[in-house]
Every structure is written in structure tokens, then in C-alpha cells.
Structure 1
Amino acid sequence: MKIHEYQAKEILKKYAVPVQDGIAIKSMNEFDSAIQQLQARGINQFVVKSQIHAGGRGKGKIYNPANRDELILEGGVKFTTDVQKAKDYASKMLGNLLVTHQTGAEGKIVQTLFITEGLDYKKELYLGILLDRAASKNVIMASTEGGVEIEKVAEETPEKIIKEWVDPAIGFQGFQARKLAFGLGLEGNAFKNFVNFILKLYKAYEDTDASLLEINPLVITNDDRILALDAKMNFDDNALFRHKDIADYRDLNEEAPLEIEASKYNLNYIKLDGNVGCMVNGAGLAMATMDIIKLAGGEPANFLDVGGGANKETVANGFKIILSDPNVKAILINIFGGIVRCDRVAQGVIDAVKEIEVNVPVVVRLDGTNAIEAKEMLENSGLNFSVASTLKEAAEKVTNVLAKV
């Protein structure tokens, strides 16, 4: 689960992590109050920040959602010392469409703004914490190239990324924090403040079951304070039952409608840009299915994992989700019968198709327990299924069907 910058900073404040001060607003009626509160704290420089679940906001463009050819504002993050100008920026951002390189052409409607303090600083750094699955350890990444996307740094100047892995048996140690500070070339108070910062940041990451915590940029102010100028946090969905306060941060406006609908049925669904709908059990098999569709010349329209217990209900709900995408021209069902028998899956597919209007070709490949019986059931159902024995055959059949559509 992703959250907004202002929400991430609320969490970090609870762990005494120094962050840029600010107030979130959802309507222009709240703007004046937010400015007055910031001014009461001695703040006279302001940054108006659009809040969407995508990066590149500062370089994005604000458009009129009713007329996407009408450019309203260059940039979704604006600095000013003038209150009236800040208000003008806010009015142009709120309720309008922000398009960045991460949102794609469809963009995102800005429904929340973060009105923050403008800070004077002398250096931008990068700091990120995430799970390195290959090493089975959390890794902390730091770089002197703050304000730049870490992917770009990794591609162009990988030597500028410092990495420190944390042994889960002993946790993050002070010497590792100091090693990172030395690697960033910090000295004096900046060195001490960074060590204190990263130790608190790591505790916030670990305590909240985060899967990503990225501070970009992390700034060194003119008086050597270390502050999070931006903050991005993602969380392990499987651990949210332990963090109801964090689960409440979920913003459905930032999620794809079909993905929200799929989550109601405990289906793991991610929409893609292709035309072959995929219904598979198991994440690994789903990935392999998408790969082989590509190899056969097709384009997967989605990732859909119906889980280990595929039955009539899950299959029917899977059909509903897949067919809600108008780009889908054919469906490939690829189920391995391990936890669940293939004949039960086949009956579930037959029952679901009888109840739901499936108006595109369907290719079914079932393998595992009772696969032979399942194939006979599908072929004798009187329904318009194309049955395959292997994954390669299934992918070829679905791409051949598409060629005729």
C-alpha cells in the first residue's frame, strides 16, 4: 500500500525524524488557515505541493481535466515567499490534472495539497530503505545525488550509490550509520545529525512494516540540520492488520478502480496495456503466463492471481474483473491443480461461464491433479472453450484467436 508524502511525514514525526513542516488541505477554504498556522510558527517561505501517488511532481504539468489541451501550470510543486502567489498556485493545482512521467498521459487529479515551509539548504542527498529479496536483508541506500531519481543514478553513476545491508539477527548498528555518513562525506554537526536521523528513520521503517522508505531529497540546511524534504513510504499489505492507523491512510482515489474491485474478492489484480486477459493461480505462474504470452506474440492485459483455492466464485469474480477492461479481446485461464483439483476448477469455470456473459474467446489450460478429467469436462460442456494441454500451446492458441478477431 502506498501513502502520500504528508502522511509519511506524519508517521516520521512520531519517531522524531526531522521533516519539513507543513499542513495538508483538501479544499481552498482551508488555505488561509493553513498559511496562518505556518506563519504563527515563524514560517514566511512556502512550498505548495501536489499530493499524488507518483514521482516527478515538480517537473509535471497541470491540465484542465475537462480539456486536456489546456495547460494551467508548469510544475506540481511551487516555491514562493508571496502568500497571494502561493494561493494562486494552490487554486491552479487543486482539482486539476497532474501529468508526470510516472502517471503516464492519463495523469492524476490533485485532491490534496501539502502547504509546507520553504527551507534554505546547501546540499541535497538521497536516502532509501527497502528489502533486498536476493540477500533476505533490508538494504539502506544513500547517495550524494539527491533530487535525482535513484534509477537514473544507478544507470549513469552507480559508483555514487552507497549500500549497507542490515543483518536481521542483530539489527541496524551505530557503526553502519557512521559508515554511511562517512561515505556521504559528512563532517561535524551534519555528520552527527545524519547518524541520529538514519537511526530513527530505520526504526520507523521496521516498526511500521514498511516495504520502502525513500527520502529524496534529504537536505542539509545552512545550519547543518538534516531534514526530510520529501518522503515516500510503501507498506506490506500482509502486515496492515497490525497497523490500523496506517491502513486508514489508504486513498482509493489513487488506485485503479478495477484493482479496488478485485481487492474486495481477495483477488490480486494489476491492469496492464495488452488485450489478453489472464486468470492464473499463483503469482509465479501468473508471471510465467504473461511471459509466454509475450513470447507467442501477444500482449497480456492484466496480472490476475485467483489464489490456491480457485472455485466457481473466484473464477466468476475473475471473469467480471477481466471483462471490465474493454481492451480484453481473449482470455487465457491457466490453473495448476495442486491445492485444488483440476476437475473442481473446470466445474467452476463451466458454472461461471453459464452465469456470466463471456463475449470473448476463452482458452483454458489445466494441469495437475485430475487434469485429464478436467479436460474432458471442458470439452463435453457444450460451451465455447478452447482447451490446451501445455502452457506453450495455450499461449499459441490465444494469440491465434486474437489474429482472427
Structure 2
Amino acid sequence: MDLLEYQGKQLFARHGIPVPSGKPAATVQEAVAAADEIGYPCVVKAQVLIGGRGKAGGVKLAKDRAEATQYATDILGMDIKGFTVHEVWIEGASEIAEEYYASIVFDRAAKAPLVMLSTQGGMDIEEVAEKTPDALARLHVDPLLGFQDFHGRKLAFAAGIPGDLIRPVGAMLAKLYETFVAEEAMLIEVNPLIITPGRDVVALDAKVTLDGNSLYRHPDNAALRDPSAEDPQEQMAHERGLTYVKLDGDIGILGNGAGLVMSTLDVVAQAGGAPANFLDAGGGSKADAIVSAVEVILSDAKVRAVLFNIFGGITRCDEVAKGLIEAFDVVKPTVPFVVRLDGTNDVEGRKLLADANLPNVATAKTMNEAAEKVVELSKTGVAA
């Protein structure tokens, strides 16, 4: 779950990380009242779950009440890369001597947190990593050992941090790591991490991604979830207890079990198709879950064909067939389906589908055959 900047800063503040004072606002009146309370100059910052706000005009420095009013009016409701601004963060202006970059991300390949630090903050870190990779110091932390003082010093030396800032920057990294672990985050990024003229280290930005699977242990964090900011299909799937990931293609994919679904994505791609989504109905899927899955898949207007790839273990293929028959009665799909049933009660499931004689539904015996059929149907739009 991604947090807005101000939510991330509030999280940081709970862990003793220095951040500028600020207040969120959802209306122009609230924004102006916050600016009056914080004092001028102040910064009006759009709150959306996307980068590039400054370049899009979503971050403005207000010198007085009139400018705060104008900027809040301009920014609230603004569209930034497809995200509508519903809130702004009013923050006291900061004096900046230097801008750094710091982040902690869980590196799945290394099975350990990766801490990164650079003196080239305030810009696209991807560009820094590509053009001057040596400017980005990296260090994996053993989860059992945790972040130690020597880790901070090693990163600071590698990044070229000035001598008088090595300990303060190391201390900041230690607090960020503490937050990363305590809040069960997948990413914490500060860009820029600023150095003030008084040589204080302050987090001027906060990009935080929390592990959604851990939110039941963090009710305060779970309450920060904003369904309106989520993809509509992913929100619908979440509400129905389905695992769903939206992709860029036009073929809907449903399977039971993440491994089978990911294999199906690969096979469809090899057949020349482009998956539109990844939907795992889970083991033991019943008919009602299949109906819900069909509704979620077809809620994406880009879907031109759907592939059901079911391997029955705990899941019974006849239950899947019943669910598909019910879904056709309820949803009345207009795109072709390819169904492959194998495993527990697969014969019964295929018989149910044959007897139902659903319109625009083709069957396949193997995964490769199913993938080739659905790719063809995504282009022609009609099942044989």
C-alpha cells in the first residue's frame, strides 16, 4: 500500500525523523487556514501517488496569503499523470544548502533490505543510476544483524558525504531503517534528503510503500488506505477477496494458484499475446468466486478475450464450470472465452460446459493449446 507524502512524513515523525512542519488540506479554505497557521513563505504541495509533481506544477512556493489562495485553487482538482489531486500538503518553506537521496527497499533477489545513498538528490534517481552509477552507494543489510553504525559510515564514505555530516547522515539512515522494519515497509525513499545551512539533516520528502499483507498488525496504517486512489479493478478484486494485478494487454487471465497464473502469463506471451490482467482465484475456488472473478476481469474495457486455466487439486473443476455458467447468466459476456480444465472432476466440469453450450466459449486440453486459441480469439473476437 502506497502512502501519500504527508502520510509518510507523519509516519517518519512517529519514529523521530526530522520533517518540516505541515498540515493537510482538502479545500482551499483549509489550505489557506493551514498556511496562515504555519506562516509564510510556505509550500503548497499536491498529494498524489505519483512522482513528477513539481514539473507538472503541483508544488508551489507561496510568499503570502494571496499566493497560497491562488496555488491551492490551481492545484486542488489538478490532473497529474492521470491522478486527480484531492488534497494538498501545506508545509513551512525550508532553507536548503544541499540535497541528497536516501532509500531502503526490500531486495527480493538478495532476500535482504537494500540501503542506497547519493549526494545527487532532488532529481530523478533513475537518471542518476543510469548516467553516474558510482554516485549511488548501495549496501545490503543482514536482517538478523540490522542496521549498524558502521553501515551508515560505510555508505556515507562511499557516497562522498562531507566529513562533518557522516555521523548525522548515518543516524538518519539508522532511523529510516528502524521505520522500515517497525512499519513492515517494502520501500522508504527520501528525495530530497536536505542539509540545512545549520547542517541539520531533514527529510523533505517521503515516499513509503507498506506491505499490504501486514496491515492487520498495523491498524493505524490500514486506516490510511484510500480506495478512491486505487485502480477500480484492483479495488473491486480486493473487496471480493481476489488477488488481481492489472497489466497492459487485452487478454484476461484467470487461474487457481499464483504459480499456475504466472506460468499462464508466460505461455500467452510466448504465443504472441499480451495479458490484460493477472487474477488468482485461489485454491478451493467455489462457483460464487468464479462469478466474482469474471465480473472483475470483464470490468476492464480493454479485455478482448479471456483464458481460464484451472488445475483441479483442492479446486474442483465442476465447481469452476458451474461458476462460469452462472457468470454467463449474470454478466452476459460479449468477449470470447477459452477454458482449460484439468485435474479433480475435470471430466464432470467439461461435461457441464458442453451441456450448457455457452455462447462464444472454446475449450482446450493443454495450456499451450489454450494460449494459442485465446491469442487468436483476441484478434478475431469469435470462438469456434
TM range (shorter): over 0.9
**1:158 Cα deviation (Å)?**
2.1
2:51 counterpart of 1:55: yes
Match of 2:166 in 1: 191
Q: Secondary structure at the match of 2:306?
A: strand
Give distance in 1, aligned partners of 2:105 and 2:80.
Answer: 27
Give distance in 2, aligned partners of 1:403 and 1:234.
Answer: 38
Higher mean Cα deviation, 14-23 or 376-385? 376-385
Conservation of the 8 A alpha-carbon contact between 2:251 and 2:277: yes
Give distance in 2, aligned partners of 1:386 and 1:187.
Answer: 67
**1:350 Cα deviation (Å)?**
3.0
**1:270 Cα deviation (Å)?**
2.6
Match of 1:314 in 2: 289
Give distance in 2, aligned partners of 1:267 and 1:215.
Answer: 32
Higher mean Cα deviation, 366-375 or 113-122? 366-375
Give distance in 2, aligned partners of 1:216 and 1:294.
Answer: 36
* Closer/same/farther in 2, CA of residues 129 and 32 from structure 1, 3 Å limit: same
Q: Deviations over 1:287-318 (max 9, x none)?
A: 33233323323222212121122221111001
- Paired amino acid for 2:60: K
Match of 1:90 in 2: 72
Give distance in 2, aligned partners of 1:236 and 1:4.
Answer: 15
- Paired amino acid for 2:241: N
Conservation of the 8 A alpha-carbon contact between 1:366 and 1:375: yes
2:376 counterpart of 1:394: no
Match of 1:72 in 2: none
**1:168 Cα deviation (Å)?**
1.5
Match of 1:328 in 2: 303
- Paired amino acid for 1:336: F
Give distance in 2, aligned partners of 1:208 and 1:192.
Answer: 24
From 244, 260, 280, the counterpart of 1:305: 280
Match of 1:229 in 2: 204
Give distance in 2, aligned partners of 1:246 and 1:206.
Answer: 14
Match of 2:31 in 1: 31
Q: How does 1:1-400 map to 2 (within 5 A)?
A: 1-39=1-39, 44-60=40-56, 75-99=57-81, 107-384=82-359, 385-400=361-376
**1:11 Cα deviation (Å)?**
0.7
- Paired amino acid for 2:185: A
**1:268 Cα deviation (Å)?**
1.7
Q: Deviations over 1:323-378 (max 9, x none)?
A: 22222221111122233233333333334334431222110122334445433443
- Paired amino acid for 2:45: K
In the comparison of the two structures, how many residue pairs are matched? 380
Match of 1:63 in 2: none
Give distance in 2, aligned partners of 1:149 and 1:336.
Answer: 44
Give distance in 2, aligned partners of 1:137 and 1:113.
Answer: 35
Give distance in 1, aligned partners of 2:16 and 2:379.
Answer: 59
- Paired amino acid for 2:22: G
Structure 1 gap segments, 5+ residues each:
61-74, 100-106
Conservation of the 8 A alpha-carbon contact between 1:138 and 1:166: yes
* Closer/same/farther in 2, CA of residues 240 and 325 from structure 1, 3 Å limit: same
* Closer/same/farther in 2, CA of residues 20 and 285 from structure 1, 3 Å limit: farther
Q: Once superposed, what is the RMSD of the aligned Cα atoms?
A: 1.9
Give distance in 2, aligned partners of 1:78 and 1:158.
Answer: 31
Give distance in 2, aligned partners of 1:237 and 1:5.
Answer: 18
Give distance in 1, aligned partners of 2:315 and 2:132.
Answer: 49
Conservation of the 8 A alpha-carbon contact between 1:276 and 1:298: yes
Higher mean Cα deviation, 164-173 or 334-343? 334-343
Give distance in 2, aligned partners of 1:187 and 1:275.
Answer: 52
Identity of aligned residues (%): 43
TM-score w.r.t. structure 1 length?
Answer: 0.88
* Closer/same/farther in 2, CA of residues 168 and 285 from structure 1, 3 Å limit: same
Conservation of the 8 A alpha-carbon contact between 2:31 and 2:88: no
Give distance in 2, aligned partners of 1:370 and 1:151.
Answer: 50
- Paired amino acid for 2:365: S
- Paired amino acid for 1:391: M
Q: Secondary structure at the match of 1:121?
A: coil
Match of 1:71 in 2: none
Q: Deviations over 1:33-71 (max 9, x none)?
A: 2122212xxxx32211100011111112xxxxxxxxxxx
